[in-house]
Each structure stands twice: as structure tokens, then as C-alpha cells.
């Protein structure tokens, strides 16, 4: 048997906390319920099914499809089940385009967490009954709990499942997991979330240098609007769109660097500059050392410094004999800082006309004067200034805050349960290539038959 591997969680990241909860709900509406638009489309195809005896697998392949692909404790899923879910994923999420390793991993992970949810719901006596599952299916597919199942509705429903690559039992398993998750969320996972707690409301602005931050402080004390300065100067795009004010926030919603100060500020009071190594700004001064030049290409080392003064000080140390690469490692604030400042080979046009004008006119071994690029580079670290809008107080959590907290609680629960249940699979390079190829072929057959009908 091929070597098992753990299912690794897929977790996308972004600067602002996106509503993963809403994305999961949307994903379920598309994947779990197979897309009402697709179902309506398929219902129009009378007398049509995706399985054709001409494509029946050989005995060897049939045996292979019955082998275990995924296991969650004592529950096993064979390769036929994985194939069907992969086909469903491909039809509904990729439009039937080429399946990939990432797509396969997403399906494997979804099957694993689906079964974890069902087993946890059963352990806590929250597993939905067959009647609950029937109700959800009818509401989703028919728009009513009591469709006329003696007529064409039932036949169209089963035919539609075939044409999206799922058996009725597979579809029921997915729906049972979704209903189970809703029950787990309501009666177990989210029960400890408070409705209110102490919160702070403040304005914030992110700046490149401490001198800029001090200038902003003086302007605000002199009567200039904090919001106008945010619009003009802030390096943080997300808060800039909201004039620097994100409303009332509990402690966990506030940048750890700003948290203590945010809860200590009184209404109208302004902070001193607060340095934040974890954030980034778009600015900086470059020093570049040319090492080799051949026609329209150069090899060079570089460092990005926060201020002109810092860049001039670094240049003075280099002129006094210090090693450029060592200083780049020590001083450069370029967020994508290369090893020892090595920029590698750069062609004309790669880094803009100002870089070309300065660096391509250096001689090998020569170091440039400090210069600012003609487009922004990402500099590690920045300076916040914050101003209290209201005194901190205990108040109800906003709907947005509650939603984000629910997301965090569910994600925490999911990660803990994945570690506890430890889903495994038997996918290796050879089986991955085989199941993706087979799934892609099945998708092609379904789509070709749909097109042939003219539907």
C-alpha cells in the first residue's frame, strides 16, 4: 500500500481579516449544494446520465477504485468516492478546467473535515436525523420542504446528481455534514462567546519615519484634523479608507503593538510615535554597489534604508572600509531582503529608469549615493500615531466583531480536531496523477454530452 500522508490544512492569509466564514458558506452553496444554476441547467437535459457503459472501468481499475484513499479513525473512503468528489469539485469550482494537485488536496481536506464533523456531532448526540437531511435537501433543491416527489422532480433530482458526479448517498453525506456543523456551531463551538466587553475607539495613522510621526503630532495639537492627515499621509491602505477609525474594537481586534496605548488613551488625547516592526510601508533610500556590468545587464548588491540620514551614515561606513554585504545584512529594511543584499542579475528596465540611470553609470566596485526609486519598495517597520476618539467602555460587540470571533473560534476548533482525529490518505505521486487524470476525463465526458444535447 502507498505510504500514507497527513492531510495538511489549507489556509489562505491576507493583510486584513477577510470573512472566511462567508466564503465557507458560499463554497458550501456552490460545492455542497452543487449550484442551483447548474442543477436547473441539467434538469433540462432529459434522459441523460453521465455514466456510459462504453466507459466502464476494467476489473483491475474497478478493484483499484475500491481501495482505501482516505481514512478518519475507523471510517474509510475509497478512490471511487474521492473520484466522484473531485469531479464534483472540478465541475462546480473550476468550470471543468484542468484539475490540479491543489484542487485534489482541497477535496481531500474537505472530505476529512466533513467526516470529523459527523463523528463529533455523533459523539455529542448532535447528529442530524435522516428527516433533518431530507428537509435540507428539499429546501435546497426544490425551494420547499414538500415537493411533488412522485412526478418529474424526483427523477430530475437524481439525474442531476449523476451529471455532477455524485451519487445520492455522497450528496446526503455532504448535506449531513453541513447540517451537523450548523448544530455544532450553535450548541457547542460558539456557546462561550460573550455579547459585550470593554472596547476602545481610536484613530490611527502609519508613517515611514519618527520625524514624520512627530510632525503629525504637532499638526494635530495645532488644530489640524487627524482624519485629513490620514488621507494625506497614512501608509496603511486599509485604515486610510476609513479615515483611520475602525470603530469600537475589543482588545483581540487591535494590533498588539497598539493595544495597551489604545486602552489607556482618553478622548482627544494623542500618543507619542509607536514603532511597529511587524508592519510595512512603501518608501526608503537605496544604496547599490555594482559588481559586474555586461551590456544591458548588471550584477549588484543593494540595501534599503528608512531615511536619508540612515543611508548617508551607511555610505560613510562603506567609504571608511566596512563590507557592503555585511552592512546590508545588518541595516537593510527591504522586506524581501536578499541574502547579504545580493540583487543578482538585473536587466535595464527591471527596477525602473532612476535605478537604470544611477546604477548602470557606476563602475564595478563603485557604490551609489543614496537615492529614492521612481516606484515604491516595501520597507519593513513603520511608526503609528493614534488618537482617542472616545474613552474605553464596556459595550455590546458589533456584528462584524462577532462574526470575526466566530470565524476564529471555528478555525481553532477545526485545527484542534484535525490534530486529534489525524485524517490520513494513501495518495502518492502515482495515485495522484492517476486520479486527477481519471477525474479530468470524467469531467470532459459530462461536459461533452451536455454540449451534444444543445442544453
Find, among 223, 338, 220, the residue nearest to 288 by Cα.
338
DSSP-derived 3-state class of residue 247: coil
Residue 218 DSSP SS3: helix
Q: Hey, what domains does the chain have and what are their CATH numbers?
A: 5-192+406-453 (1.10.4030), 196-281+380-396 (3.10.50.40), 284-375 (3.10.50.40)
Nearest by Cα to 83 from 54, 113, 53, 50: 50
Give the whole-angstrom CA distance, residue 15 versus residue 285: 25
The whole-angstrom separation of Cα 208 and Cα 380 is 10
Answer yes or no: are the C-beta atoms of 207 and 219 closer than 8 Å: no
Q: How would you list the strands of the sheet with 424-425, edge to edge? A: 5-6, 424-425, 68-72, 75-78
Q: pTM for this structure?
A: 0.68
Burial 233-268 (b: 16+ CB within 10 A, else e): bbbbeebbeebbbbebbbeebbeeebbebbbebeee
Name, in order, each residue with C-beta under 8 angstroms of 237's C-beta and a sequence gap of 6 or more: none
The SS3 of residue 358 is helix
Per-residue model confidence as pLDDT tens for the chain (455 residues) = 444 444 444 443 344 444 444 444 444 444 444 443 333 333 333 333 444 444 456 888 899 999 999 999 999 999 999 999 999 898 876 554 578 999 999 999 999 999 999 999 999 999 999 999 988 888 887 766 665 555 566 777 787 787 777 888 999 999 999 999 999 999 999 998 999 999 999 999 999 999 999 999 999 999 999 999 999 999 998 999 999 999 999 999 999 999 999 999 999 999 999 999 999 998 889 999 999 999 899 999 999 999 999 999 999 999 999 999 999 999 998 877 678 889 999 999 888 889 999 999 999 999 999 998 866 678 889 999 999 999 999 999 999 999 999 999 999 999 999 999 999 999 999 999 999 999 999 988 888 877 776 55
The residues that bridge with 299 in the sheet, in sequence order, are 292, 345
What is the full DSSP assignment across 361-377? TSPTT-BPPPB--SS--
Amino acid at each position: 500500500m502507498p505510504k500514507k500522508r497527513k492531510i495538511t490544512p489549507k489556509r489562505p492569509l491576507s493583510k486584513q481579516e477577510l470573512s472566511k466564514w462567508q466564503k465557507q458558506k458560499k463554497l458550501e452553496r456552490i460545492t455542497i449544494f452543487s449550484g442551483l444554476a447548474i442543477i436547473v441547467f441539467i434538469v433540462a437535459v432529459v434522459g441523460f446520465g453521465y455514466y456510459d457503459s462504453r466507459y466502464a472501468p476494467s476489473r483491475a481499475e474497478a478493484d483499484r477504485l475500491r481501495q482505501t484513499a482516505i481514512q478518519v479513525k475507523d471510517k474509510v473512503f475509497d478512490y471511487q468516492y474521492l473520484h466522484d468528489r473531485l469531479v464534483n469539485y472540478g465541475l462546480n469550482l473550476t468550470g471543468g478546467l484542468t484539475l490540479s494537485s491543489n484542487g485534489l488536496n482541497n477535496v481531500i481536506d474537505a472530505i476529512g473535515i466533513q467526516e470529523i464533523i459527523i463523528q463529533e456531532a455523533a459523539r455529542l448526540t448532535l447528529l442530524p436525523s435522516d428527516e433533518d437531511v431530507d428537509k435540507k435537501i428539499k429546501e435546497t433543491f426544490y425551494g420547499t420542504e414538500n415537493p411533488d416527489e412522485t412526478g418529474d422532480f424526483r427523477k430530475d433530482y437524481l439525474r442531476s446528481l449523476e451529471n455532477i458526479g455524485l451519487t445520492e448517498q455522497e450528496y446526503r453525506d455532504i448535506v449531513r455534514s453541513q447540517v451537523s456543523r450548523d448544530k455544532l456551531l450553535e450548541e457547542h463551538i460558539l456557546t462561550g462567546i460573550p455579547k459585550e466587553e470593554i472596547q476602545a475607539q481610536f484613530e490611527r495613522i502609519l508613517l515611514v519615519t519618527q520625524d514624520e510621526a512627530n510632525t503629525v503630532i504637532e499638526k494635530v495639537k495645532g488644530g489640524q484634523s487627524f482624519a485629513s492627515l490620514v488621507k494625506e499621509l497614512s501608509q496603511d491602505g486599509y485604515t486610510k479608507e476609513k479615515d483611520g477609525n475602525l470603530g469600537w474594537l475589543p482588545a483581540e481586534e487591535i494590533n498588539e503593538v497598539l493595544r495597551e496605548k489604545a486602552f489607556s488613551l482618553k478622548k482627544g488625547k494623542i500618543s507619542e510615535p509607536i514603532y511597529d516592526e511587524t508592519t510595512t510601508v512603501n518608501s526608503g533610500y537605496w544604496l547599490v554597489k555594482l559588481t559586474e556590468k555586461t551590456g544591458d545587464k548588471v550584477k549588484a548588491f543593494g540595501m534599503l534604508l528608512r531615511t536619508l540620514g540612515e543611508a548617508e551614515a551607511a555610505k560613510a561606513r562603506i567609504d571608511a572600509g566596512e563590507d557592503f554585504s555585511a552592512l546590508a545584512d545588518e541595516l537593510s529594511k527591504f522586506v524581501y531582503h536578499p541574502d547579504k543584499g545580493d540583487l543578482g542579475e538585473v536587466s535595464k528596465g527591471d527596477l525602473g529608469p532612476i535605478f537604470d540611470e544611477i546604477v548602470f553609470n557606476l563602475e564595478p566596485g563603485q557604490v551609489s549615493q543614496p537615492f529614492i526609486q521612481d516606484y515604491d519598495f516595501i520597507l519593513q517597520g513603520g511608526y503609528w500615531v493614534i488618537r482617542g476618539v472616545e474613552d474605553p467602555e464596556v459595550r455590546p460587540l458589533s456584528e462584524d466583531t462577532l462574526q470575526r470571533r466566530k470565524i476564529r473560534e471555528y478555525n481553532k476548533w477545526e485545527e484542534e480536531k484535525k490534530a486529534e482525529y489525524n485524517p490520513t490518505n494513501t495518495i502518492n505521486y502515482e495515485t495522484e496523477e492517476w486520479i486527477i487524470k481519471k477525474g479530468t476525463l470524467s469531467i470532459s465526458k459530462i461536459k461533452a454530452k451536455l454540449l451534444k444535447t444543445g442544453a
